[in-house]
Structure 1
Amino acid sequence: MRYPASEKLEIIRLVEDSHLSASLTLAKLGIPRTTFYRWYDRYLQRGEAGLQDQSPKPTHVWNRVPTEVKSKVVQLALQETELSPRELAVTFTDQERYFVSESTVYRVLKAHDLITSPAFIVIKAANAFKDKTTAINQLWQTDFTYIKVLGWGWFYLSTVLDDYSRYIVF
């Protein structure tokens, strides 16, 4: 439970003025000793202002990319439109002597709507094999996928399963 600064100050004065020990007074109030002494230390250091709620957010994030670096990444991307985020990260690191990862470049470009969605080629599977099998060892199940990875090129992904693979035991 969060207490406003006025209640914290009242609790501090109540503990100071109590004829009971601090731990007994805090136990009767239901306030943990560590919480009270944190409040009390802040009160002794900064007065009533120290009892105000403080923002739990850090004032500085150690790994945040500065805004000026982000704008330089965007400028480079606008100059070198044919480069992928991976290539932009390498080029930026080489030119500016400031390391940015591929994922950072991707996020910066995505935030500025400079990432295009990949082009998909949809291929419909046939209902039957074009070349019918004539022997048992010709019955194979295959699956091919043709993928274009921007900045890398085209790749085939294939899986092959023949009719005897299910009987192999390791």
Structure 2
Amino acid sequence: MPHRNAPLTETGRLRLARCVVEDGWPLRRAAERFQVATSTAHRWAGRYRQLGEAGMTDRSSRPHHSPHRTPTRLERRIIKVRVARRWGPARIGYLLGVHPSTVHRVLTRYHLARLRDLDRATGRTVRRPVRRYEHPAPGDLVHVDIKKLGNIPDGGGHKAHGRAVGGRHSSAHRDPTRPRKVSNHPNLGYGYLHNAVDDHSRLAYTEILPDETKETATAFWTRAHAFFTTAGITVTRVLTDNGSCYRSHLWRDTLTAAGITHKRTRPYRPQTNGKVERYNRTLLDEWAYNQPYTSEAERRRALPQWLHTYNHHRGHTALDGQPPASRVPNLHRQNS
């Protein structure tokens, strides 16, 4: 099967070759007709003369000889040490006098299991279950995070018009009051997506704000807390990363006054706040980069509708295909 960028399929190659070999077309004429290079037309015509229709398939790009490949005997020794001692590439390399990267390539070539997937006592491959936690009730834990997102220039950026036109749009000031920080470089600025996601229900609340200061983050949480309260959710704990706004006294005092416990992730360990990190990716894939917007204002106008769809209609894999609204007691305010 030809690769995705091939200009000709196997049928197209056969037609080109027959035009040259059987109908006597010049190579240049056949190349222009099928919109390929003359050398390409020459290659497929030659293979047709030699092999017929069977020559129209792609050949492997693997070389016939690899003189610098690791010797088979050394590969066997690497595999033997790995299986017997369950060592990593570095220790095997030190033992056999081989660079660890070479050992890693050999282990990868023979599809040997990673050490983390092996039982150290028996050497058998074990299937580790997916570690997924979920708090039992809405509000037991709310994940909060900030995602920095570049603004779209008026007229559309490179995703809408390509690099040439998008670059010209970006070079113009979207906001004349914002000076360039670097000469000849656009300064469109950024929007900061402040996000709050409930751990149990995955109910989300998002605002686009101009910065990530402690005052902005605290004001956002006040509105997010009111949103969750209106939905019938009593928030008892909030989990954030170690950003400066979340380490401020203002943030601490605001949560303490509301009777909320603040938890922070371990440094350089974003997986702890994984639910909101995954929400950030969904937000980018399904809203921010879902279509080529022609302005930042157009993209921001689309956010409320997308957020409503996410909370009320979009099926969530962790909720057995149900939307977050299925786990929230009063999202539609039917009990108020």
- TM-score normalised to structure 2 length: 0.26
RCO comparison, higher one (Cα < 8 Å, 6+): 2
Larger Rg: 1
- TM-score normalised to structure 1 length: 0.42
